[in-house]
Amino acid sequence: MEHAQSNYADLGDMIIHYLSAGEGPETVVLLHGIPQTSYEWRYIIPQLSTRYRIIAPDLRGLGDTSRPATGYDKKTVASDVWRLVHDHLGIKEFFLAGHDWGGPVAFALTTQHEAAVKRLAILDVVIPGDGGDFSQNGRRWHHAFYRTLDLPEALSVDREELVLDWFFDHYGYLPNCISVEARQEYYRTYKKPGAFRAMFEYYRAMPTDISDNKKYIEENGKLSLPVLALGGDKSFGRGIDTIDSLKRVAKDVRGGLIPNSGHWIGEEAPDFIAEQLLKFFGEH
């Protein structure tokens, strides 16, 4: 990616890969979703890096980050990000944005280190344990399938591209919104040994995520920092569900819909997302 530098950090129990760009005095941390990697931010990073320092890691088990056997609950994945950003890079405060599973990771990171997160953006996802239905009453059918032990791995062997293509074709507004070049990059990492296992583990950890988030809300109440919540308004975009979810777990929420976008917001509406993030992060 010409606008970002590829880096690796040794966290002891894992090697985490991350993209970095920009030299601004303030930092924005971008957390990707599934089945994507930090590559999903490639159109957004150049726009944000004119003003901010950007850090975009590949989450535990995904992309070019190593693939531990355990630790896919979102508190642990958030701890990975914290160790990278705070401990390894020495960044004390930052803005935070997460898409898809990167959203619950960002939420978990904020619950653990709220003083360090200046503003939080959640993109086309809802928060497990918010009181709503994470899987939209079964509309997101793959959630239950992915949580099934062993079977998804067995059925996906040598069919990784077929599985990824189905979601790329159906969860965006337009079937060609994920380019051939982008698909090849996602294939490259998701076809590595252990990558599909890691992907499924994000879903299998959902009961733990629900329990962790419910416990936090019960003990601490809603998040108090400013939150931006945006959902794609087409196809399998989350629509208004994103802002509704965040209002259940945070006090200061604004946002709404991402026009003409399904779920792949970084590829379908990068200019809109970049504009909204720049505006939101620049308000403080």
Q: Which residues are 9's β-sheet partners? A: 16
Dihedral angle over CA of 159, 162, 167, 172, nearest 10: 160
Helix axis angle for 206-220 and 74-82, nearest 10°, is 80
Domain boundaries, position 235 = 5-281
Per-residue pLDDT of the chain (284 residues; tens, 9 = 90+): 667 999 999 999 999 999 999 999 999 999 999 999 999 999 999 999 999 999 999 999 999 999 999 999 999 999 999 999 999 999 999 999 999 999 999 999 999 999 999 999 999 999 999 988 777 766 788 889 999 999 999 999 999 999 999 999 999 999 899 999 999 999 999 999 999 999 999 999 999 999 999 999 999 999 999 999 999 999 899 999 999 999 999 999 999 999 999 999 999 999 999 999 999 999 86
**pLDDT given at position 1:** 60
Instruction: Spot the catalytic one: 58, 100, 124, 233.
Output: 100
Instruction: Spot the catalytic one: 17, 99, 113, 263.
Output: 263
Please give the Cα distance from 177 to 175 (Å, whole number): 6
| CATH code, 169 | 3.40.50.1820
124 a catalytic residue? no
Instruction: Kindly state the tokens that stand for 90.
Output: 């020495």
User: 222: exposed, middle or buried (C-beta count within 10 Å: 0-12, 13-18, 19+)?
Assistant: middle
Phi, psi dihedral angles at 89 (to 5 degrees) = -95, -15
Element housing 160 (H / E): helix 160-170
Total structural domains in the chain?
Answer: 1
Please give the Cα distance from 7 to 12 (Å, whole number): 16
**pLDDT given at position 28:** 98
72 a catalytic residue? no
**pLDDT given at position 151:** 96
Instruction: Spot the catalytic one: 72, 202, 203, 216.
Output: 203
244 a catalytic residue? no
Please give the Cα distance from 97 to 161 (Å, whole number): 28
* pTM for the model: 0.97
**pLDDT given at position 191:** 98
